A and B are shown apart, each in its own frame.
Chain A
Amino acid sequence: MKTILVPMPKNDSLIAQVRSLYYSLKGVGESEEVVFDLSKITWAHPLLLLPLSVSSIEKNKSIFNEKCGINGYLDCIQFPGGINNVSDFELWVQKYKNYIPVSILKREALEERGRLESQFLSLVYNSLQADFMGVRSGIYYPITELVSNVFDHSQSSQAYIFAQMYPKKNYLDICIVDGGRGLRKTYYEEKGLNLSHADAITEAMNGNSAKKQKDRGFGLHTSRNMVCQGLKGQFMLVTGNALLISDENSNRLFPLPGFNWSGVIIAYRIPKPSAEFDYTQYIE
């Protein structure tokens, strides 16, 4: 079985996290048995950790972290296994107070899923400690829309969510991942469109829903706008072999040669809000 040493990100930036993720997964087959060795990791953010967690749960990969410098932190966030029910989530929060665990929303467990998502959102909002009018909606909107997209489009049986507030650095990282069919396959199967992964991202960000009904397709680009324009954050989306990096001033698409993520990885970072926020400006 192949062992892959996960490279330590060069710095805290989201770009550094995705670069490390790229070199970890590059050339690895979808169901190839692989061990991810985290012994070089002394610090990691949700964008690196959550896809590795999903890989270990869904894609026949294992995690080796016995010599990892952040074992204590990984235990506190229930990495890589995650939590998938409300009662375990509540117990976890009681025990670990300020740590948000990797959370798994299961498609079929509708009521449990709804309540778990509510608890997760509440914990994320409370961790921010930014009690300004409208901030809660600004935090809840992108997460709920992006999770909804997993269950509307991906055909995945679960959505994975994780977040971490960094009080000393004054920003919040959020990551939402699925291991489903991805944007390209969705457009092909639903609309017969033969697109590259990069073009599928553009299609989705243009608001062209894979669903036939009118008045669909708002969730992704309005979430991106809310994060980047509204909350002055940075937004990333990975699907297949393509990566979108968005901020207030630009949207850039990068090819990721030799890399393939079958579903969608979305990660964004927002500075801690310091004023009221009107999320309705970003809803269409």
Chain B
Amino acid sequence: MNIFSKTINIDLSKDLAQVVSSRDLVVDLESKLAKLPNKKINLDFTNIIFVSRSAAHELILMQERLSEKFLKRKLVNFVNMNEDIKNLINHIAKANPEREVFRFNVKKVDTANFLK
């Protein structure tokens, strides 16, 4: 078996941190994964205790981008996620981009009373 067909396991908590927070951390991770010779990558969430919604969304987009590359395509699997993270990833993956318009009801108030 050559290295290209061998699956590599990446401990996400070592590459990032126990909390995966911001999108740019995921974008940086993507650039590292893209350079690996392996076509199959397991992102291991064993020691990850929380992923923000933003980062989870970016992880899904990263997975799509790497799988859609013409050259150097990579299959990225998320493994060993805890229940919360698994549910979050599934929720975002199913989310409809044509979402309902959210209406924030806000009242503009005179500052006079507030500043006393």
Binding site for B on A (CB under 8 A): 15, 19, 22, 107, 110-111, 113-115, 117-118, 121-122, 136-137, 140-141, 144-145, 147-149, 151-152, 198, 201-202, 205-207, 214-216, 218-219, 221-222, 244, 250-257, 280, 283-284
Report if A115-B105 is in contact (Cβ < 8 Å); known contacts: A148-B55, A219-B54, A283-B88. no
Q: Which residues of B contact A147 (CB under 8 A)?
A: 21-22
Binding site for A on B (CB under 8 A): 15-25, 28, 49-50, 52-55, 57, 84, 87-88, 91-92, 95, 97-99, 101-111, 114-115
Between B101, B106, B108, B109, the greatest number of chain A beta carbons within 10 A of the residue's beta carbon is seen for B106
The residue of chain B having its C-beta at the shortest distance from the C-beta of A114 within the complex is B17
Give chain A nearest CB distance to B49 CB in angstroms.
Answer: 7
Q: Report yes or no: B52 in contact with A145, Cβ–Cβ below 8 A.
A: yes
A151–B23 Cα gap in the complex (Å)?
A: 8
Report if A118-B57 is in contact (Cβ < 8 Å); known contacts: A19-B114, A110-B24. no
Q: Which residues of A contact B21 (CB under 8 A)?
A: 114, 117, 144, 147-148
The residue of chain A having its C-beta at the shortest distance from the C-beta of B58 within the complex is A148
Would you list the 5 A-B pairs with minimal beta carbon distance, nearest first?
A: A144-B52, A114-B17, A214-B97, A205-B104, A251-B106
The SS class assigned to the A binding surface is helix
A178–B101 Cα gap in the complex (Å)?
A: 28
A selection of 24 A-B contacts at a CB cut-off of 8 Å is A107-B24, A110-B24, A110-B25, A110-B28, A115-B17, A117-B19, A118-B18, A121-B50, A141-B53, A144-B19, A144-B50, A147-B22, A151-B23, A152-B54, A198-B108, A215-B57, A215-B97, A215-B99, A216-B57, A218-B54, A221-B104, A251-B104, A254-B109, A284-B95
